């Protein structure tokens, strides 16, 4: 005796869910696999070990300011490639296409819990967040704007490259230009806070980044002039554990605070309350 087998219903076509390639992210510190939306909702900080993933310039502006960057300063500026450095113009065009940035920094106005401020943010994705002539000009224009309005100035940095080699001496000159800007803020009694992300190195750290009235570092950020590998090779000695990381600098007085990104906006608001009450 044979029984007719019941046919299985065909699988529904709509049951296939496509997952984007970048949906899952592995934390480089603790190895936890995290869904990207969860990470982004947590300010790109690992919920398991508090590792701080790098943030783009516009992303940080959105995190820090009530409505992101409201009025951008110097958005139209593009480097003139003063040395005619081989491949430089093509590289810049490529990065603009990939990241929607004309250079490694953005500047503009925003609000922190309603208080008007001027912000300057660098983006590691664009040539390591390095400092060229457009970078310096944007910084200085933002300083001029802050001075005119008497608004506090916040600089958030993810700059591994320091001064940009593609612009040679023009890049190095930006160390002076940005430093002059900081002095002008100081003369007007305008609060100037720097936030050092991972990494903040080279000419950026050796000029305006290290001159904040208050210097805040994100946890675990690599901060310094030359990198640890170069120093190790030069002095021929092993470096102490945690060398050039935020917590090491805090212990040795190079930075004033190490602040979790999730508390950054509130901390800066509190600092500005204190600083402005004394003006
Ligand atoms: Zn982690």
- CA 47 to centroid of ligand 1, rounded, Å: 7
How many domains does the chain divide into? 2
Does 61 share its domain with 46?
no
Q: Are residues 31 and 101 in the same domain?
A: no
CA of 29 to the centre of ligand 1 (A): 5
Is the pLDDT score of 137 beyond 60? yes
In this prediction the pTM is 0.91
Q: Where are the beta strands (DSSP E) in 164-212?
A: 192-200
Cα(35) to centroid(ligand 1), Å: 12
Interval 72-89 mean pLDDT: 95
Instruction: Compute, in angstroms, the gap from residue 244 CA to the centroid of ligand 1.
Output: 21
Question: Comparing 208 with 162, which gets the higher pLDDT?
Answer: 208
Over range 35-40, report the average pLDDT: 94
| pLDDT tens-digit series, residues 59-71 | 999 999 999 999 9
| 62 and 179 part of one domain | yes
What whole-number percentage of the chain has pLDDT above 70? Answer: 93
Report the C-alpha gap between 128 and 162 in whole angstroms: 8
The answer to whether residues 26 and 66 belong to one domain is no
Gap from CA of 163 to ligand 1 centroid (Å): 31
What pLDDT is stored for residue 215 in this prediction? 98
Rounded mean pLDDT, 135-159: 98
The Cα–Cα gap between 78 and 34 comes to 37
pLDDT tens by residue, 3-22: 556 666 655 555 566 777 78
Q: 59 lies in a domain?
A: yes
Q: How many Å separate Cα 210 from the centre of its chain?
A: 15
> Is there a domain that residue 7 lies in?
no
d(CA 180, CA 143): 10
105 and 68 in one domain? yes
Helix (H, G, I), strand (E, B) or coil at 76: coil
Domain CATH for 98: 3.90.226.10
* 38 Cα: distance to centroid of ligand 1 (angstroms): 13
- Distance between the two ends of the chain, CA-based, in angstroms? 98
| Parent domain of 40 | 21-53
C-alpha span between 228 and 243 (Å, rounded): 8
CA of 205 to the centre of ligand 1 (A): 27
Give the distance (Å) from ligand 1 centre to CA of residue 39.
10
Q: Which two tokens stand for residue 173?
A: 């000159």
Q: How far is the CA of 31 from the centre of ligand 1 (A)?
A: 6
CA–centroid distance, 26 to ligand 1, in Å, is: 8
Ligand 1 centroid to Cα of residue 42, in Å, is 12
For residue 83, is pLDDT > 90?
Answer: yes
Angstrom distance (rounded) from CA 213 to CA 182: 10
Instruction: Look at residue 11 in the predicted model and tell me its pLDDT.
Output: 56
**Domain assignment present for 12:** no
Ligand 1 centroid to Cα of residue 231, in Å, is 28
* Residues 42 and 128 grouped into a single domain: no
Tokens for 144, please give them.
Answer: 């001029």
């Amino acid at each position: 005796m044979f029984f007719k087998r019941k046919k299985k219903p065909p699988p529904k076509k709509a049951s296939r869910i496509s997952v984007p390639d970048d949906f899952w992210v592995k934390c480089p510190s603790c190895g936890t696999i995290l869904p990207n939306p969860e990470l982004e909702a947590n300010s790109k900080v690992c919920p398991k070990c508090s590792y701080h993933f790098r943030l783009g310039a516009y992303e940080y502006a959105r995190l820090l300011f009530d409505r992101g960057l409201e009025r951008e300063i110097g958005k139209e500026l593009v480097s003139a490639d003063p040395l005619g450095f081989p491949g430089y113009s093509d590289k810049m065009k490529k990065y603009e296409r990939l990241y929607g940035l004309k250079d490694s920094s953005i500047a503009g106005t925003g609000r922190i819990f309603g208080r008007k401020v001027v912000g300057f943010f660098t983006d590691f994705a664009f040539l390591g967040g390095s400092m060229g002539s457009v970078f310096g000009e944007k910084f200085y224009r933002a300083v001029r704007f802050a001075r005119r309005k008497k608004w506090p100035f916040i600089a958030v940095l993810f700059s591994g490259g320091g001064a940009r080699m593609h612009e040679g001496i023009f890049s190095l000159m930006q160390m002076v230009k940005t430093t002059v800007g900081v002095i002008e803020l100081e003369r007007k009694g305008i609060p100037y806070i720097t936030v050092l992300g991972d990494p903040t190195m080279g000419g950026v750290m050796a000029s305006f980044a290290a001159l904040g009235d208050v210097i805040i570092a994100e946890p675990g950020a690599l901060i310094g002039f030359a990198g640890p590998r170069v120093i190790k090779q030069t002095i021929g000695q092993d470096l102490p554990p945690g060398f050039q990381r935020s917590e090491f600098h805090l212990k040795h007085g190079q930075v004033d605070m190490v602040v979790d990104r999730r508390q950054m906006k509130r901390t800066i608001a509190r600092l500005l309350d204190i600083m402005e009450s004394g003006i």
